[in-house]
Amino acid sequence: MKHLVCGLGSIGKRHLENLVQLVGRDQVCGMDIDDLAAGHVRDKYSVNVLSDLNSGLAWKPDMVWISSPNHLHMPIAHKVIENSNAHLFIEKPVSDSLSSALSLMPAFRKRPRLIWVACNMRFHPGVTTLKRAFDERMIGRAIVIRIHFAHFLPNWRPGQDYRATYSAKRDQGGGIILDDIHDLDLANWFGGPVKSLFAVTAQSGFLETDVEEIASINLIHENGIFTSLYMDYLRRDKSRGIEIIGEKGTLTWLSKGKRPEMIRVEFFDATKNSTDELFHEEFDDPDVELRLQRDSVIAAIKKPEIWQKKLQSGLASLALAEVAKRSAEKGVWINEPLRDIDIVFR
């Protein structure tokens, strides 16, 4: 397979490197309109790097990986769908707005192909351990899920002024809610469909951005589970995790730091009043879950029966993110947050 990586920022370079390791340099091509970024990748990885998408599509890739800033995802995706038969991987979020993302549907129905929206946290070793224990009903019926993510924005991309990145700019799809859309995806994955949502957001006044830097989002799922999400751009010691409270105990995943990342998963068994450690590792490789996701993406190309489901899950996460922003602006609970998605996929 031939792979075209569009957008060679921090995550794009990681996708490109992981693809080179898998299929070799001749089967991977980069594309970026930034000459400096393109030159850096060309020199470091010895791959062909192009400056425009037309040239990239003329190379006839089998798979296009979109890792550009959020507001550019849809223009690239539409051009790929309309001018090639290539499958698509789109970094999270699928777009900076739900309306633009839903515009993919007519083209998708006309020319179906895999459209995979990034969900690499589903492949994180802590999360997969937690999900396995959850699915085995170690805690019985789940009642409450608490999810958190906090990481100091100036530390995200070393060597770059964070204020110049899309994360800090509202008109480019920035803000902690879209940046941490992973956790809305995990809320869907663990808790199931959401029936109502309430959110509060804030700016610290410390980071000099025009986006929300702090968010607290409450979800009520159709099955009665209550999920609380907290996320911010401010915490100096990176931390993320999930706590699931059930009728028979509690499951906890906690990850602290970055390079190394300390990962721990525990099960508190209420029937025995004891705690068991399910997973405990120190990871220095941040690309473990990216490589696992890469392999699942490539395998999914041969499974057209799941193509729509992969696009649907990405759109559902974006819908929750957009509704969370609307809820925070209006200060109200919003019912049926996934109504537009349900209508599109009926």
pLDDT digits (tens, 9 = 90+) for 185-226: 999 999 999 999 999 999 999 999 999 999 999 999 999 999
pLDDT at 340 over 90: no
pLDDT at 7 over 70: yes
Residue ranges of the domains in the chain? 3-120, 122-284+308-344
Strand-strand pairing, 261-269 and 249-256: antiparallel
Say which CATH topology domain 122-284+308-344 has.
Answer: Dihydrodipicolinate Reductase; domain 2 (3.30.360)
pLDDT at 215: 98
Tell me the per-residue pLDDT of 119-162, one tens digit each, with 9 for 90 and over.
Answer: 999 999 999 999 999 999 999 999 999 999 999 999 998 888 99
Strand partners, 115: 88
Model confidence band, residue 38 (pLDDT cutoffs 50, 70, 90): confident
pLDDT at 346: 60
Torsion of CA 303, 308, 313, 316, to 10 degrees: 180
Measure CA 192 to chain center. Answer: 17
Tell me the per-residue pLDDT of 75-130, one tens digit each, with 9 for 90 and over.
Answer: 999 999 999 999 999 999 999 999 999 999 998 999 999 999 999 999 999 999 99
CB count within 10 Å of CB 346 equals: 5
pLDDT at 238 over 80: yes
pLDDT at 210: 95
- Enter the tokens of residue 92: 């999270």
DSSP character string of 174-188:
-SHHHHTHHHHHHHH
Answer whether 3-120 and 122-284+308-344 agree in fold. no
Is the bond into 260 cis (omega within 30 degrees of 0)?
Answer: yes
Strand-strand pairing, 115-117 and 194-202: unpaired
How many angstroms separate the CA atoms of 91 and 123, rounded? Answer: 15
DSSP 3-state of 315: helix
174: closest CA among 72, 257, 101, 255?
A: 72
pLDDT at 344 over 80: no
- Enter the tokens of residue 62: 């089998």
Mean pLDDT calculated for residue range 255-282: 96
Which residue intervals of the chain are DSSP H helices?
Answer: 10-23, 35-45, 53-58, 73-83, 98-102, 104-110, 125-135, 176-179, 181-191, 288-300, 307-330, 339-344
How many angstroms separate the CA atoms of 270 and 37, rounded? Answer: 53
CB count within 10 Å of CB 158 equals: 7
pLDDT at 58: 97
Architecture, CATH, for domain 3-120: 3-Layer(aba) Sandwich (3.40)
Strand-strand pairing, 334-335 and 214-221: unpaired
Label residue 207 exposed, middle or buried (CB < 10 Å: 0-12, 13-18, 19+): middle
Tokens 């990176």 correspond to 238
How many angstroms separate the CA atoms of 176 and 173, rounded? Answer: 10
How many angstroms separate the CA atoms of 128 and 8, rounded? Answer: 28
Tell me the per-residue pLDDT of 294-326, one tens digit each, with 9 for 90 and over.
Answer: 999 999 999 999 999 999 999 999 999 999 999
How many angstroms separate the CA atoms of 107 and 77, rounded? Answer: 10
